[in-house]
Amino acid sequence: MSQGSVILKLISLPISIMLICLGIMTILGGHITPGGGFQGGAMIASGIILSVLVYGIGNSPFELSHLYIEVLESVGALGFVIFGLIGLFVGGFYLYNVGTDILNVVPQAIQSVLHYPDVTNAGIIPYLNIFVGLKVFAGLSAIALAFAGFKKYVEEGE
């Protein structure tokens, strides 16, 4: 699986770290710029996949355990569903954008933490982007790791 090139092994971890940072940046700007949770999560997963392809699944610096992927996937899905249910119960529709001041109990400093200073208010969209990003990152990484592990399993069997 590993390519064996020293140059590849030297450069792919820094590139993976930069890709992950770019993915996080894309997630956090998804409500006012192109991109969002899916795109950012796919960029983070691409950093993981690059490391797995270059170093091999056994030597990859990003060692994602089964529990880690499971927890991230569950947190992403649960967060999305919980925000949807909040919209259903407060606004009357599933995923209704109820804003950040839910039931008038959220302090102003927390309300405006991801609020772009403009006439438009994103409300819950940035938080949905974060949960979707976590879920996509975990899901795509799990698929790539499963494929890499299956290839290793086949190679060991031959």
Q: Which is closer to another protein, CB of 11 or CB of 90?
A: 11
Closest approach, Cβ 153 to another protein, in A, equals: 19
Residues found near another protein in the complex (CB under 8 A): 6, 9-10, 13-14, 17-18, 20-22, 24-25, 27-29, 32-33, 44, 55, 58-59, 61-65, 68, 72, 113-117, 126, 130, 133-134, 137
Give the tokens for residue 101: 């001041």
Closest approach, Cβ 18 to another protein, in A, equals: 6
- In eight-state DSSP terms, residue 34 is S
Closest approach, Cβ 12 to another protein, in A, equals: 9
Closest approach, Cβ 52 to another protein, in A, equals: 12
CA dihedral in degrees (125, 78, 21, 31; nearest 10)?
A: -10
CA dihedral in degrees (76, 45, 66, 152; nearest 10)?
A: 160
Contact 98, 87 (CB under 8 A): yes
Q: Which is closer to another protein, CB of 130 or CB of 142?
A: 130
Give the tokens for residue 28: 């956090």
